[in-house]
Structures are given as C-alpha cells and as structure tokens.
Structure 1
Amino acid sequence: MISNYDIIVVGGGAAGFFTAINIVESNPKLKVAILERGKEVLSKVRVSGGGRCNVTHACFIPNDLVKFYPRGEKELRGPFHQFCSGDTIEWFERHGVELKIEDDGRMFPVTDSSQTIIDCFLNTAKKLGIDILTGQSVQDIFKGENYWKLETNQQSFKCDKLIMTTGSNPKMWEMMQNLGHSIVSPVPSLFTFNIKDNRIKDLMGVSAFASVKVKDSKLKASGPLLITHWGMSGPGILRLSAWGARELFDKNYQFTLQVNWLNDLDFETVLEDLKEIKEENAKKLVSKFCPFEFPKRLWESLLFASGINSEVKWADISKKQMTDLVNQLTNGQFQVNGKSTFKEEFVTAGGIDLKQINFKTMESKLHSNLFFAGEILNIDAITGGFNFQNAWTGGFIIAQSFSNS
C-alpha cells in the first residue's frame, strides 16, 4: 500500500520541522508528512547548546551575518535578506517562545531548555495536522514524471514535492548523487586541538582572549581560548577549525599553532611595554606582578617557559629572558597532533554542491519539486547559533516558494 502526500519532508530535525510548519501555516490544505529514520525526532536540537538550544545569533544585518559561514557566505546573502535573525526571534515569539540574548550574542529560549523548542515544534506540527512518522529509514528514491516515490524500511510513499533535510547523512548524499547531484566530500568542522605541552599541562579551565594562527598558512582567528585536559578549545579555536576545515584535514591535523595571548599586540609593542614596567617595578617579583589582564597561572607558566623563576625581580630579567617572554606572549608555538570533536554537536563541512541549488526557492536546479534545507547542503558556520539560522532561513524560503507557486 502506498501512502500519498502533497509534500514529504525527509529528516525530522530542526530544518525539517521548521520547513513543514511554515508550509502548512501558509497552505493549510496541503497534506504533509515528516519521515524520520530514528525513534525520536529533533534529537540534535535536544543536545544543542549544552541542552539549552542556541536558536540563533543577535546579528541582524544580512551582510554581516553571512561572514560567519565559511561555506555558504555568498549564497546566503539573498536568503538572509528574506529571513534573518530578527525574523527568527519574531517567529518564535509568535509561537509562544521568548528568546534572550547572552553577552556573546548567542540567543537561547528564556527557559534555558531545548525542550521548549522541541515542544513548540511538536505541538505546532500536531495542531497543523502534519504527520510525524518515526522509524522510517528511506531505502530508495524514485522520480516519476510529476511525482516522487520513496521506499522506506516499512512502506512506500508518493508525493508531489520532496524536501530533503537529512543533515550530514552519507546514505542520503549517496541517493542524491544517484539523482545527479554533486557532493562536496565531507570533512569535520568545529573541533578542538589536541596539544601536549608542558606550558599548558596543568592549566585546565584557564581561559584568555587570544589570536591564533596556523603557521605557514593564511588561517587565523581570534576569540576566547580555553585550555582543556586534551589541549585547546573555546570559540577562537572552533572558529579557526571551521574556516580551516579542509586545509587542516589535508594536513592530517598535524601543524604548528601560533598563539598571541595578548590578542593583537605585536612583539615590538609588548617589548617596549615590558621595558617600561621593568624600570618602574624594578624591586617587584615578576611572578607577582603581571602587567596584562591575564590569568595568573598562565602568566607563571609562560615565565617558567622563558627561564624566569618565581624569585626573579623585574630588575634582574636578562635581555634574553625578556625576548623569550615577549615571544611566549605574542607568538607561542604549540604543536597540534590531532583533533577532538563534540559528537553531540558535530558539524560537517561538505554536502550538496551549492551551484546546483536555486537560492531563491532552495529548489534543485537538476530536478523540479526537489528542495533542500539545512546541513545536507555544503553550508556550515562557526559555533553560536548560525547553523540553526541557516536551517530556519532555508525552511522559510521553501515555504514561501510554495505560497508563491
């Protein structure tokens, strides 16, 4: 027996629900189903943002927002002019979910619980009569003359329009490839760096605002850097990993990381500053007087690495020790040997080639009535709510295209 629908959305995640809901709100007569291969829907929403769901980011200008997307920057400019972060806030408020802005611009539900977003989607979908079918693993997709036919592990489906929101699912990419779509091979994005180094060995939990650079490369970023028991993490490192996803993959995650713990201060400036401090604080112990807004434990560690022990006074620092200290502060070199990814919030660079998508409608340029939203496309962003914003925007545009057709 074949189940017939006007529209089938494959993938019961953020993009899938947002797309289906927006379609039926604009076109109440359409019969819509969401097919999810897992036992439950919205599982990635549940764990995102440490269980709080980082819904979007407080960046409200489309031309600024696109700069957070290592892949998709050019293509998303038009879509963001149609549905941006401000529209997301308004949409959720209209659906009974109030969002709040944190100091770093990330936006969460005021409840600080991803369950709020899940309940919003589930309740709205139910109210609109959208069928949510779990345990439906798509095995085959067939294109008829003016319809799509899907075979799952449980049954057959037929629909007029097919929407793929399956995220980084290699099996679905393969099916799309069989339909003629090109897939940009996936590599991890948003990962932390494995570093074993005595300078940071006992500094777990220490954080500083730093700029980081991959040696002999154009890759650089800045932001809070967090020292962990396996190496370095934090927004600055994650940003670098996102922009460098392909290049670092090609290096097999073996490279030298240059860290400027003073962010944008250069060697000469810091050297001059420290010479002045040496004169003004000659009798003070260097270890007790750190002239920068800087974690004390990190300061002590970099002093030790520069050959300056805890009893040395500023007056007694040699020229070589001073040079070594400035180098440690502005150009500390750390050997990276591997990466660690967050399995729950794993983001992949790769997916359907963006040249094959019409970004006015999110429709395939190869097949009419085939649409895409979310991470199935070769679009990804740095951490901070941007990947969700891409999902919301794509879903909204698909829904708009149905209303206008």
Structure 2
Amino acid sequence: MKKYDVIIIGGGAAGFFAAINIAEQNPELRVVILERGKDVLGKVKVSGGGRCNVTHAEFIPQELVKYYPRGAKELLGPFHQFMTGDTMGWFEERGVSLKIEEDGRIFPESDSSQTIIDCFLNQVKKHKVEVLTGQAVKGIYNSDTSWRVQTNTDEYYAQTVVVATGSSPKVWNLLKELGHTIVEPVPSLFTFNIKDDRLKAIPGVVAQNVEVKVLGSSLVSEGPLLVTHWGLSAPAILKLSAFGALEFAKRDYNFSIEVNFVRQSLEDVLEQLKVVKQESAKKTVFKSTLFDLPKRLWQQLVLASDMHDSKRWGDVNKNQLDLLAKQLTQAVFQVSGKSTFKEEFVTAGGVDLKEINFKTFESKLHENLYLAGEVINVDAVTGGFNFQNAWTGGYIVSKSITGQY
C-alpha cells in the first residue's frame, strides 16, 4: 500500500502536463503517474511523424473550437483559461523553442518529439513527481476520505485521482463501474480506402485545393488531397473523417464521395474547356494540363473521360467534353474501408461530456475525480488540436487541485 496526495492514471500528454503543473504549483503535494506500459509518452513520440505537432497557431478561442467535432461548446470556456499562446509560453519558459509552419502547425525547432519528451522527463524529475511504469489499473474505488487505485502489482491511495489514459476501453469500463456514461468509441482520424483506376497509377500526387462531399449527407470539406497506395488522404479527407466519424461508422465505412478538383462549377469548367477546344485544336488533350492540376492527375482524368492519350482537342466530341468537365468537378469515388492515419489513432467517444464540470475538469459524479485528454468524449482534426485539448485539460486540472481557482 502506497499513499500519495494525487494519483495520475496515464503516462501520456495530459497526464504529464497535469502532474508537472500540480507539483510546480504546490511542491508539498506528493504526485505519482501510473502508466500501464513500459514506456511513457508513446503518443507524443509518434505524433507529427516523430516531430510532435505540439499545437496549432489559432489564437482565438471561438475559432479554435471549430476544429473539434465533439467538445467544441464545452472547450470554449477552458480555452479562455489556457490557450495556444499559453502552451507556447509554457514550453518556451522550460527551454523548448517552437516554430510555426506555413499551415499553422507548431513544432519544436528541433523537429524531434524527443525534445518534448525530454522536457517532460526533466520537469517530473525536477519537481519530484514519481513515474511508475508497468502499472495496469485493475480498479478505481472511492470512500469518504480517499481513493484507492488497484494495479496489477500494488494498491495506491490518494485524496485525488486524475484519469488521463486517452482512449482506453479497460479504463472506460472502470469509470462505468463508478457510474459514468461512456459514449461508445469509433475511429475519428483515418484515411479512405479506395480502389479506382484513376488513382492506381499516381500515388504521391497532391491536389492542393479541392472540395470533397460525402454523397447522401451534408458532410463537406476543403483543402489538399493526397493520393496514396490505398486511396485518399491529407487534410481534405482527415477533416471529413473527424466530422463524419459517427456517420461513417453507421455506414460501416462504405460510402461514395464526390471530388471537385478545381473548385469551380461544372458549367464554368465546361465553358472554359470549349474555349480551349477552339484555341488549341491541334494540341493533344493528354498533354494540355489545365487548372493548375498535377500533370499525372490531369492525365488520369482525361483517360477516364473516354479519351486516349493521342486525342487532339479539335477531335473531342460533346460527350467527351462533358465527361471531362464532370471528372474535374464531380468525380465520384467509392470508399470501402479506412486506414489509420500514420500512427496517430484518435477516437470519438469516451466519458459523456455532460458528466464533467468544464470549469475544473472534475467529475460531476465524484468529488476529487478529474478527467482530462481523450478519455473524455472530445476529439479534433489533425494539426495539433488534440494535444491542445490535453494541455488545456491538464493545466485546468492542476489549478483546481492546487486551489488556484
């Protein structure tokens, strides 16, 4: 039996951030982090392709919440307390230089997630936070005076427990036993599996500014589109996967999308193609890349419009011109399945948001039980937003526990 003031369950981003800030704000408190694996901060290590996408350069709370399919309303208040700029300041003050990239993502100057991990490990050592690995939590029990956490090796007692395990079905079951409602998890950040001759030969091609609609729904997104060996990815797809997570799960990940590669209407594109047909009659359509599209993508759309690679503009008939305009503005692809985006597995689901006090991130059902990070039903699109939720939740938990609110 071991006694502490605060037990943090989960050795990830939210858990470490909460632990460090608690110990920093009140050095008298004995804080322990219990991690079930043999290593801590595993998700931090792989995030951003190993560079760690710390947060995103959106500094207005009302705008930031728009990136959260679940949790937008609830996070507005917390973001007024601890925002992107606060996150940047926190890391800078502890010796981590950050940089903002063109797309708004924020990374350490070192381009290495190890910089963030080393910062956290140095801070827990400095503030005497215990970090115990190999601690799979088997039970969370409360009494009038304290909490008891049972692991596979020991029992721990504390006045306060913070659950920051991320998407953990086992921990969700333990919280369910405490009376919490768990929203069933479904994948939230994934790429689309598509087998299509138009894409088969051009993996690696990026269309910079497209519009993607999910047919039979109101789901739509814009942005870059990447052709992969298994289908389509990049922000235009990942935004859809996050905002459509529940809908796609219902459809068992089988649905159709319509891609507008040029962000123009069918009628406008058709008129422009008619002009090109008149002015470039002797040129081959296959080699006449238009609309700033990648050459290989243009060629595949031409071939899909019932034209061979030697067809001249002057010989294009009305039906072929119509088909090309449709391929450019209304190309339909059948999605059949999903793939995890890199190694970043994000889910929609978790503890019902109605059961959390977002001024403190304390459970409304149990005093001195706090929940932060992806263990609650909050998730975001790619770009550093899920980490910002972790930093904000962890910081507010620390302020509440140390009595600074």
Give the TM-score range, shorter chain. over 0.9
Partner of 2:57: 58
2:181 maps to a residue whose letter is: S
Paired residues for 1:119-198 under 5 Å: 119-198=118-197
Following the alignment from structure 2 to structure 1, what is the Cα–Cα distance between the partners of residues 126 and 85? 25
Is 1:386 the counterpart of 2:397 in the alignment? Answer: no
**Runs ≥4 in structure 1, deviation > 3 angstroms?**
none
Provide TM-score, normalisation by structure 1: 0.98
Write the distance in 2 (CA, Å) between the matches of 1:63 and 1:284. 51
- The Cα shift of 1:225 comes to 0.8
Q: Which amino acid is 2:144 matched to? A: E
Does the aligned pair in 1 maintain the 2:290–2:298 contact within 8 Å? no
> Where does residue 318 of structure 2 map in the other structure?
319
Shift of 1:59: 0.7
Equivalent in the alignment of 2:218: 218
Residues 5-404 of structure 1 correspond to what in structure 2 (within 5 A)? Answer: 5-208=4-207, 209-262=209-262, 264-342=263-341, 344-402=343-401, 403-404=403-404
- 1:329-362 CA deviation, whole Å, 9 max, x = no partner? 1010111111111472100110000000000000
After superposition, the Cα gap between the structure-2 partners of 1:181 and 1:58, relative to the gap in structure 1 and judged at 3 Å, is same
* Cα distance in 2 between the residues matched to 1:25 and 1:394: 16
CA distance in 1, matches of 2:199, 2:343: 26
State the Cα distance separating 1:271 from its structure 2 match. Answer: 1.1
Q: CA deviation at 1:318?
A: 0.9
Match for 1:229: what amino acid? H
- 2:349 partner letter: G
In structure 2, how many angstroms separate the alpha carbons of the residues matched to 1:291 and 1:218?
A: 29
Are the counterparts in 1 of residues 49 and 342 from structure 2 also a CA contact under 8 Å? no
Tell me the secondary structure at the aligned position of residue 255 of structure 1: strand
SS of match in other structure, 2:52: coil
Q: Find the aligned partners of 1:333 and 1:65 in 2 and give their Cα distance.
A: 32
* Residue range with higher mean Cα deviation, 145-154 or 354-363: 145-154
Runs of at least 5 residues in structure 1 that lack an aligned partner in the other structure? none
**CA positional deviation for 1:276:** 2.0
Give the Cα separation in 2 of the matches to 1:346 and 1:80.
Answer: 24
Question: Within 1, Cα distance between the matches of 2:82 and 2:404?
Answer: 16
1:3 aligned onto 2:9: no
Deviation at residue 222 of structure 1 after TM alignment: 1.2
Give the Cα–Cα distance (whole angstroms) in 2 for the partners of residues 274 and 314 of structure 1: 9
Q: CA RMSD in A?
A: 1.0
Worse-superposed segment, 366-375 or 395-404: 395-404
- Cα gap change, 1:241 to 1:35, in 2 (>3 Å): same
Offset at 1:315?
A: 2.0
* d(CA) in 1 for partners of 2:285, 2:342: 42
For these two proteins, the number of residue pairs brought into alignment is 403
What are structure 2's unaligned runs of at least 5 residues? none
Note the alpha carbon deviations across 1:134-157, whole angstroms, 9 max, x for none: 111111111010210111111111
Amino acid at match of 1:271: L
Q: Which amino acid aligns with 2:211?
A: S
- Tell me the secondary structure at the aligned position of residue 252 of structure 2: coil
Task: Give deviations 1:137-192, integer Å, cap 9, x for gaps.
Answer: 11111101021011111111100110000100000000000001000000011111
Between the aligned residues of both structures, percent identity stands at 59
Q: Secondary structure at the match of 2:221?
A: strand
After TM superposition, the score normalised by the length of structure 2 is 0.98
Distance 2:273 2:74 in 1: 47
Q: Distance in 2 between matches of 1:14 and 1:116?
A: 13
Deviation of the 1:404 alpha carbon: 2.3
Q: Which amino acid in the other structure matches residue 256 of structure 1?
A: S
Deviates more, 1:158-167 or 1:395-404: 395-404
Distance (Å, rounded) in 1 between the aligned partners of 2:75 and 2:285: 51
- What SS does the aligned partner of 1:293 have? coil
The CA distance in 2 between the partners of 1:236 and 1:128, in whole Å, is 42
Can you list the C-alpha shifts for 1:15-57, whole angstroms capped at 9, x where unaligned? 0000011111111111100000111110111111111100000
Classify the secondary structure of the residue corresponding to 1:103: coil
